[in-house]
A and B are shown apart, each in its own frame.
Chain A
């Protein structure tokens, strides 16, 4: 077998030499060179594989029928050509010619033959003759219609170009029509048999490959590069022959010419994408100067990007990895040769890359590292989106993140050194976006992984590198192949974020800020995260940013809500989360799944867009946990609130979503044991309403999502004490009417609270006038005063309140009518005071907010005015909210919490005042906005 293989190789050598000379001729021809050479390559490849299929009988039969069909088609086209010739119709001739060319392609594909069918050659000969005849006949030409003449001319050119490919066959055909074909066919068969052997051999030969290649005399072996490359590498074989045979003869010009040629073929029909990558990577090996190598490498990378053309699919993983390696090599070069400048603004001179290593001044090479990097990142993201998260593949893929981080780190370093901080900040953002969602444990794991895994990986790489003929420009690994991580994720974030804040553009900054907020929230640093959010004024203009940033915003808010919950800030947590849940489209808002809407169908286009926005699985925020947190917060706020306003339950809703759920659950005739999160919270609510905190806690604790929390014990402890407090409040509010006095002792034991806690809770309620009572200090009793309003009285209070709202909307109408002036806001502020006086001590907060609103400018430094700045409507809308918080929380947990809602609710607030309260979905960043529009 082996000997056969060798002899074959020897025999084919002479054969190919012939063709090679021809091939070189074509190169000399220049422009058109690309095409035929590619075609040539294909021929050769096809010829080799042809027999593979022909060998098996079954396949043969199938192929035959298809083949016959194609041949029939071709024959009929030939007939058409003949007919057209008879009537001298060049237009239809031209059409037929195009058609036959297409058919040729098909035939070639179906038959997998290399030999052009003689039928086609016959047609060509006919056409050529007829054309010559027509050209010779000047008079007839003049008589032709203009379209006909035009067609004639273009036919002439096309034919000339086309026939060049088949020159020898045409001449052969002319010499010996018809008979040629059969002989050739047989010839081929023999040839191919050997070829197939060669292939079988190749697989075996793979191991010996290096050796053989070093010899440089045999070209076939390169085919064995493995996998899919094998099938395509005939081309390379050819190039190898051209280049590898005599390295000393290869000049810059030759490489450059070939390079141009290959690049020119890009995107053309019939240019194999993989093939092109192969060709280019081969060229990198023979590049003469570092600059040239760099230039070619850039093309390799972009060719690799081309491998997957669709928007929806992702780049094959091995190609992705190769791509990253190439980028690293690029960086190696750039780091080593400081005089090479990568730039995409200036078109470099023609022969810029000719300048050698020792060239003094700057060499410009066209390329955009950042764009490449971003593309690589996008491909990585896409692959994670598409891979099933429950497979090993996904986990493996996740580990590739390290590769990307190395690359990004190096690119950033390069850009910083080059002084291009703007671009560097973009890269920094990419890095940040890979880190921000990682809790400390995951970050540590990643760091450890990077420390361990490195040894093996570099080994692989080296092995790969050493394969193939030694490159002319050897690039040592200058750039570190190992990501460096600071001790914890926070320092890394700080590092990246400070760079971005300094140099980034608006969008980059906004995203970086959101990531920063998210990360702070992840680390339970609520106050930091909140300050960042407020100072950045992101809530105000998030509506104007792109959808993916809006998603990021929503996610950051969700995380912030979870964080607030963990540190025990219930009101804040509710403020963050309620907007997410108001529309019932959480999944969509967080990009963690497509939610089906009952009311309108999405077009496939919309669905595809939405799917493209999805977060990969490992970045998901647990929805059950989120829902539980939201509902529990709502419960803690709403239950005492409901107890306080039994008369008019419609009036002050804290959480509409919660109320609705509660109504639904109350309507049920039979309540079974709780199953999902919602049921649990509802059961807890029912218990809490009765003041039965023990059961409430039990139910809440039985939720199994709590295991997702890091400091589960602490959080549950916090939750318990909150539930007890709220139970106490609910109890007092509900039953205060029935008692004349209650002792502190009794309350303490009833609700299992400490003396100080109980005292503080009750005192707060007294101060806020939720509870009309006072302490009798010597006996430590709560004495209730009988000041409950009668029905008439409370109704008249409602009336006054409505009146002031009316007055206010009048004023607003006046203002929007252009009346305004300086006085109005002042007065409206007064008005607000009245409105809010009823809402319980909330007025000063509003004042503050209003001032904030008018203050307007002040820039970023203005910081805490955040919520207020959202404008008059926000101030108003937030007013109620805030007022009720004062009632609810007693401690008036500062305005910021409502600033969350304040910022977001601005739009709804105004509409709520004017008309009926709409659904709150507009508050949260609506994703569909872009889609509907």
Chain B
């Protein structure tokens, strides 16, 4: 089960704090020994300021009441730093907590800065302090505070570099507070910046994209129900390229999303190709399943892979809730493809292929037929499903081909007309 665990591959692309939920989940799943996870947690916490939490874990891990000396020292240090930061950021915080004063702020950043400087003696130093303070709050695990401060900081900040990291911080905080709606907003904002910004190096840009995608996993698999958004994000060329070059394991999530989402068939074939292409660098049961169904038409293999997929889904924090949905759709995939190339199918075999028993399969198929998702009939006497032959009419095809031509030509002509007066005027 642990062989398909992606946590080690995902974690490096996440913020320290974002790894906690993953570890919590792993702990629940009992996939790894508890001790290892606790150790990992302490390791993680060492670099943050959540010293108290680290102490607790330490205690439960070693079952002692003693806490190592360096942790205590660190705690003192952290508290001291908190104090000093609080102090330096105090004027601005005070200002921001005063609703009437905040009202004076306008959309114009320059004006705001000027105003703050003139009337409240709040200069760039204080604003900078606010950022540090917010960051510190975040490190301490006070995410809501951090989110608020970062929001305000962004309103005042002029340094784009800093503003960007503030945005990252805000996103992390929102994710950790599970404010999915806000998080999506932040995500989109961040995405815009990443895509528009002329990064110093393309490498940087790719890295940012990969971070963004990793972070977005939390949001999409908890919030976005039909997974349209994740497909939209991941399946963009630039992001797909990033996945292929640096983080092929994300393909699993995209594959899951594609399987669950039925409406994205147009992009689906595209995706199959990508999977094939990346077979040498990454594969897991989910991508292999897709390869079986859509590339090799190996339905026995697909069936095997489907079983494996179940396990994988169980062991995956973000996709587990979607397990049933996933299986349902995967089954449908198999059926669809299978039906496409068959004229007559034995019900028993079909049931086997779908990982169902005979009765269920029959009921399921009848349901499909009734919903006209499947153009077939069941012959109970022989126990077979008979497909209705479905060939596109030649005339329809011809019409289909030529239909747009006139439209295109018309558009072209009108464009030409538009242009020629313009040229004449010139």
Please give the residue numbers on chain A whose beta carbons come within 8 Å of chain B beta carbons, in ascending order: 527, 535, 756, 759-760, 763-764, 766-767, 772, 774-779, 783, 785, 787, 789, 793, 796-797, 800-801, 803-804, 807, 810-811, 814, 817-819, 821, 823, 827, 830-831, 834, 837-838, 841, 844-845, 847-848, 851-852, 855, 858-865, 891-896
Chain A residue with the shortest CB-CB distance to B198: A857
* CB–CB A763/B297 < 8 A: yes
* CB–CB A834/B401 < 8 A: yes
The CA of A848 and the CA of B269, in the complex, are separated in Å by 11
- Among residues 397 to 426 in chain B, which have CB atoms less than 8 Å away from a CB atom of chain A? 397-398, 400-402, 404-405, 408-409, 411-412, 415-416, 419
Please give the residue numbers on chain B whose beta carbons come within 8 Å of chain A beta carbons, in ascending order: 201-203, 205-206, 237-238, 240-242, 244-245, 266-267, 269-270, 272-274, 276-277, 280-281, 295-298, 300, 337, 340-346, 349, 382, 384, 387, 389, 391, 394, 397-398, 400-402, 404-405, 408-409, 411-412, 415-416, 419
Q: How far is the CB of B425 from chain A (nearest CB, A)?
A: 15
The CA of A774 and the CA of B276, in the complex, are separated in Å by 25
The CA of A231 and the CA of B296, in the complex, are separated in Å by 78
Q: Which of A756, A814, A861 contacts B415 (CB 8 A)?
A: A814
Chain A residue with the shortest CB-CB distance to B267: A844
Chain A residue with the shortest CB-CB distance to B273: A894
Please, which residues of chain A bring their CB within 8 A of the CB of B245? Answer: 535, 861, 863-864
Q: For B344, B397, B401, which residue has the most chain A Cβ atoms within 10 angstroms?
A: B401
The CA of A810 and the CA of B273, in the complex, are separated in Å by 31
Q: Which of B203, B237, B295, B394 contacts A852 (CB 8 A)?
A: B237
* CB–CB B238/A785 < 8 A: no
Please, which residues of chain B bring their CB within 8 A of the CB of A803? Answer: 402, 405
* CB–CB A796/B346 < 8 A: no
Q: How far is the CB of B222 from chain A (nearest CB, A)?
A: 29
> Please, could you name 23 A-B residue pairs with CB atoms under 8 Å apart, sorted by A?
A763-B341, A764-B297, A767-B337, A767-B340, A775-B342, A776-B343, A793-B398, A797-B401, A807-B405, A819-B415, A819-B416, A823-B415, A830-B408, A844-B269, A848-B237, A848-B270, A858-B202, A863-B245, A865-B237, A892-B273, A892-B276, A894-B276, A895-B273
Please, which residues of chain B bring their CB within 8 A of the CB of A844? Answer: 266-267, 269-270, 273
Please, which residues of chain A bring their CB within 8 A of the CB of B412? Answer: 807, 810-811, 814
Known: A767-B340, A827-B408. A804 touches B394 (CB 8 A): no
Known: A774-B341, A814-B416, A827-B411. A851 touches B237 (CB 8 A): yes
The CA of A175 and the CA of B412, in the complex, are separated in Å by 107
Other than A817-B419, A861-B203, give 7 A-B pairs with Cβ distance below 8 A. A767-B341, A774-B343, A807-B405, A811-B408, A814-B415, A821-B415, A862-B202
Chain A residue with the shortest CB-CB distance to B343: A774
* CB–CB A894/B277 < 8 A: yes
* CB–CB A800/B398 < 8 A: yes
* CB–CB B401/A778 < 8 A: no
* CB–CB A834/B266 < 8 A: no
Please, which residues of chain B bring their CB within 8 A of the CB of A834? Answer: 401, 404-405
Chain A residue with the shortest CB-CB distance to B281: A527
The CA of A793 and the CA of B394, in the complex, are separated in Å by 7
The CA of A777 and the CA of B299, in the complex, are separated in Å by 13
Q: For A756, A844, A860, which residue has the most chain B Cβ atoms within 10 angstroms?
A: A844
Please, which residues of chain A bring their CB within 8 A of the CB of B201? Answer: 859
Please, which residues of chain B bring their CB within 8 A of the CB of A759? Answer: 297
Please, which residues of chain B bring their CB within 8 A of the CB of A766? Answer: 340-341
Chain B residue with the shortest CB-CB distance to A859: B202
* CB–CB A800/B394 < 8 A: no
The CA of A721 and the CA of B415, in the complex, are separated in Å by 54
The CA of A817 and the CA of B382, in the complex, are separated in Å by 66
* CB–CB B419/A819 < 8 A: yes
Q: How far is the CB of A537 from chain B (nearest CB, A)?
A: 12
* CB–CB A777/B404 < 8 A: no
Known: A767-B340, A785-B389. A800 touches B401 (CB 8 A): yes
Q: How far is the CB of A564 from chain B (nearest CB, A)?
A: 13
**Closest 6 A/B residue pairs (Cβ):** A859-B202, A763-B297, A861-B202, A861-B206, A800-B401, A527-B280
Please, which residues of chain A bring their CB within 8 A of the CB of B280? Answer: 527
Q: How far is the CB of B255 from chain A (nearest CB, A)?
A: 16
* CB–CB B401/A775 < 8 A: no
Chain B residue with the shortest CB-CB distance to A818: B419
Q: For B206, B280, B341, B384, which residue has the most chain A Cβ atoms within 10 angstroms?
A: B341
Please, which residues of chain B bring their CB within 8 A of the CB of A862? Answer: 202, 238, 241
Q: How far is the CB of B382 from chain A (nearest CB, A)?
A: 7
Q: For A766, A834, A865, which residue has the most chain B Cβ atoms within 10 angstroms?
A: A834
Known: A763-B297, A861-B242, A894-B276. A807 touches B416 (CB 8 A): no
Please, which residues of chain B bring their CB within 8 A of the CB of A894? Answer: 273-274, 276-277
* CB–CB A777/B349 < 8 A: yes
Chain B residue with the shortest CB-CB distance to A820: B415
Chain A residue with the shortest CB-CB distance to B201: A859
* CB–CB A807/B266 < 8 A: no
The CA of A649 and the CA of B202, in the complex, are separated in Å by 46
The CA of A499 and the CA of B267, in the complex, are separated in Å by 40
The CA of A775 and the CA of B86, in the complex, are separated in Å by 74
Please, which residues of chain A bring their CB within 8 A of the CB of B382? Answer: 778
The CA of A777 and the CA of B342, in the complex, are separated in Å by 7
* CB–CB B238/A776 < 8 A: no
Q: How far is the CB of A807 from chain B (nearest CB, A)?
A: 5
Please, which residues of chain A bring their CB within 8 A of the CB of B266? Answer: 844
Please, which residues of chain A bring their CB within 8 A of the CB of B340? Answer: 766-767, 774
Please, which residues of chain A bring their CB within 8 A of the CB of B297? Answer: 759-760, 763-764, 767
Please, which residues of chain A bring their CB within 8 A of the CB of B242? Answer: 861
Q: How far is the CB of B91 from chain A (nearest CB, A)?
A: 43
Q: For B241, B397, B409, which residue has the most chain A Cβ atoms within 10 angstroms?
A: B241
Chain A residue with the shortest CB-CB distance to B423: A818
Q: How far is the CB of A348 from chain B (nearest CB, A)?
A: 39
The CA of A787 and the CA of B389, in the complex, are separated in Å by 11
Q: Which of B202, B273, B401 contacts A845 (CB 8 A)?
A: B273
The CA of A838 and the CA of B397, in the complex, are separated in Å by 10
Please, which residues of chain A bring their CB within 8 A of the CB of B296? Answer: 760, 891
Chain B residue with the shortest CB-CB distance to A526: B280
Q: How far is the CB of A782 from chain B (nearest CB, A)?
A: 9
Chain A residue with the shortest CB-CB distance to B384: A778
Please, which residues of chain A bring their CB within 8 A of the CB of B267? Answer: 844
The CA of A796 and the CA of B412, in the complex, are separated in Å by 24
Q: How far is the CB of B263 from chain A (nearest CB, A)?
A: 16
Chain A residue with the shortest CB-CB distance to B209: A861
Chain B residue with the shortest CB-CB distance to A835: B401
Known: A800-B402, A844-B266. A777 touches B346 (CB 8 A): yes
The CA of A895 and the CA of B341, in the complex, are separated in Å by 25
* CB–CB B341/A775 < 8 A: yes
The CA of A837 and the CA of B408, in the complex, are separated in Å by 17
* CB–CB A865/B405 < 8 A: no
The CA of A797 and the CA of B408, in the complex, are separated in Å by 19
* CB–CB A891/B342 < 8 A: no
Q: How far is the CB of B328 from chain A (nearest CB, A)?
A: 23
* CB–CB A861/B205 < 8 A: yes
The CA of A807 and the CA of B391, in the complex, are separated in Å by 28
* CB–CB B241/A864 < 8 A: yes
* CB–CB A756/B244 < 8 A: no
Chain B residue with the shortest CB-CB distance to A764: B297
The CA of A41 and the CA of B345, in the complex, are separated in Å by 104
The CA of A216 and the CA of B341, in the complex, are separated in Å by 99
Q: Which of A785, A838, A851 contacts B401 (CB 8 A)?
A: A838
* CB–CB A863/B345 < 8 A: no
The CA of A818 and the CA of B280, in the complex, are separated in Å by 44
The CA of A785 and the CA of B388, in the complex, are separated in Å by 12
Please, which residues of chain B bring their CB within 8 A of the CB of A764? Answer: 297
Q: How far is the CB of A861 from chain B (nearest CB, A)?
A: 4
The CA of A863 and the CA of B241, in the complex, are separated in Å by 6
Q: For B342, B387, B389, which residue has the most chain A Cβ atoms within 10 angstroms?
A: B342
The CA of A760 and the CA of B409, in the complex, are separated in Å by 42
Please, which residues of chain A bring their CB within 8 A of the CB of B337? Answer: 767
The CA of A407 and the CA of B349, in the complex, are separated in Å by 70
The CA of A834 and the CA of B272, in the complex, are separated in Å by 21
